[in-house]
Chains A and B, each alone.
Chain A
Amino acid sequence: MAEDKQNLNAEQEQFEALYQKLFPQLYRYALSIFRNRSQLEMYIEGRAEEAVQEAFALAWEKREELFSNPSPAGWMFRATWLKAQELLRDEYVWVRRLLRLSQHQEREGQEDDFCLRLEMQSLLSEEEYTLLKKLYLDGYTYKELSRELGLGQSTLAMRVKRLKARISKELKA
């Protein structure tokens, strides 16, 4: 038991040292990925930080694999690249969906598309729509949004994850 705790402490120290050493470089790399690919130019700093933090979260989970890799730094750069691609893909999908919905809402007064309205209203409440809109259309990061809503960042991330999973499932059904 004491040995396990000692091992975990050693891993934690090793991991923290890697984090401190690589964070600036990985963040800079993520920034350039988002600058190249994202249409939301003004929000890239938050997105870049998210990509790096998520890459480190994955790294902590896979720390055995990370530290047994001949180049832990190379592993981290690749994880950051993959996380950034994942964030961009996710953003494209949700921006597109929310744009459709917001365009529909703007037109609602003019011509009532009954089927679409019914579909969208059954999919998400106004509060849920606002949450996703802030995240994907208004460019909030989890950090900013959690502060505004008075929620823990990971609580918010979990709420968003569940919400998106539910919508995706219903859209596929």
Chain B
Amino acid sequence: MQMKGPDQRARAVLEQMSIEELEQLLYTPAGEEPDTEFIQQITEVILEKEEKMAPDCGPDVETAWEQFRENYQGKAHIYERSETTEETLQNEKTTVRRPKVLVLRRAVLIAAVMVLMVITASADVLGRFPSWSEELFSFVYSEDVQPFAQAVPEPDPYEGLRGAVKERTSLPLIPCLAPEGTVEESVAIREERSCICFDGTYSTESGESFVIAVRIYDNADQVGKNTYYHKDDNEVKKLYANGITHYVMSNLKNNLAVWINENVEVCISGTLEHSELEDMVSSVYWE
């Protein structure tokens, strides 16, 4: 089929992107509807690129079809987890879709940022690329701080921290999950030169203690410049959630998770199990 002008332009932009960048475009934010036409285009381009890189490495469609005939066809009711999917598909006409022009703009913008990143890579202008050695993990460099503290006591585990952070940003940053019997010890707020820091300290009934540290920067390009994280020589694990990479690592008896979301840097650290920490990280994005 002959593509129309705007589609051709969109396709040309998509073809210039890396697979990683294209995958970011496939992400549909919570509360929005996927633009299926655009997603089709993106997956086509991804598959073409992957085919070029590693021919014949795609899924085995024949085997999948056989398994579909055997286990799925005519058995949709077995795999129903809720009525939501069916209801939503029926209500398709009434749902609000993402305006395509916006998505295309986003594609062009990402392409532009990509070019900018290539040009400025040696200067590390954004300063957000994580690096770590056997002992330290950091997003960039450290600077002097001028802290002052203010306690915000609250009975509910994260309510105090969530409320304080919410006054500054609507980004999802605070977990919805807390280890059994978590109580808040304190929430400290301090101002630094280029950011405001929120530190929630918690303890649990089983004797664990942990801190949730949120740093909201004035500008996104300042994120990560003030912080180093101590780690031991164990591997840094990456967790992907909500289009964001979260880095989970250990430092002797402590475990920590750190990530950046726009102009905010978050760190959860303490005597938590890795699995607890990972669960807490994923719960940040629960709707």
Q: Are A78 and B73 in contact (CB under 8 A)?
A: no
Q: Which residues of A contact B120 (CB under 8 A)?
A: none
In this assembly, does A169 line the interface, its C-beta being within 8 Å of a C-beta of chain B?
A: no
Give the contacts of A68-85 with B (CB-CB under 8 A): 71, 73-75, 77-79, 81-83
Q: Which residues of A contact B80 (CB under 8 A)?
A: 161
| Number of A-B residue pairs with CB-CB distance less than 8 Å in the complex they form | 158
In this assembly, does B76 line the interface, its C-beta being within 8 Å of a C-beta of chain A?
A: yes
Q: How far is the CB of A91 from chain B (nearest CB, A)?
A: 10
Q: Are A143 and B40 in contact (CB under 8 A)?
A: no
Q: Interface residues of B toward A: which range?
A: 35 or more
Q: Which of B27, B47, B283 contacts A36 (CB 8 A)?
A: B27
Q: Which residues of B contact A107 (CB under 8 A)?
A: 206
Q: Are B59 and A92 in contact (CB under 8 A)?
A: no
Tell me whether chain B's interface is mostly helix, strand or loop, or mixed.
Answer: helix
Q: Residues of A within 8 Å of B, CB-based: how many?
A: 58
Q: Which residues of B contact A32 (CB under 8 A)?
A: 23, 26-27, 46
In this assembly, does B275 line the interface, its C-beta being within 8 Å of a C-beta of chain A?
A: yes
Q: How far is the CB of A167 from chain B (nearest CB, A)?
A: 14
In this assembly, does B177 line the interface, its C-beta being within 8 Å of a C-beta of chain A?
A: yes
Tell me whether chain A's interface is mostly helix, strand or loop, or mixed.
Answer: helix
CB-based nearest B residue for A73: B40
Name the residue among B23, B59, B92 with the largest chain A CB count within 10 angstroms.
B59
Give the contacts of A46-102 with B (CB-CB under 8 A): 49, 52-54, 56-58, 60-62, 65, 71, 73-75, 77-79, 81-83, 86-87, 89-90, 92, 95-96, 99-100
- 12 extra interface residue pairs, beta carbon distance < 8 Å, beyond A23-B61, A57-B72, A65-B89: A23-B65, A28-B43, A36-B243, A41-B240, A49-B64, A54-B72, A57-B76, A58-B86, A62-B89, A71-B37, A78-B34, A95-B279
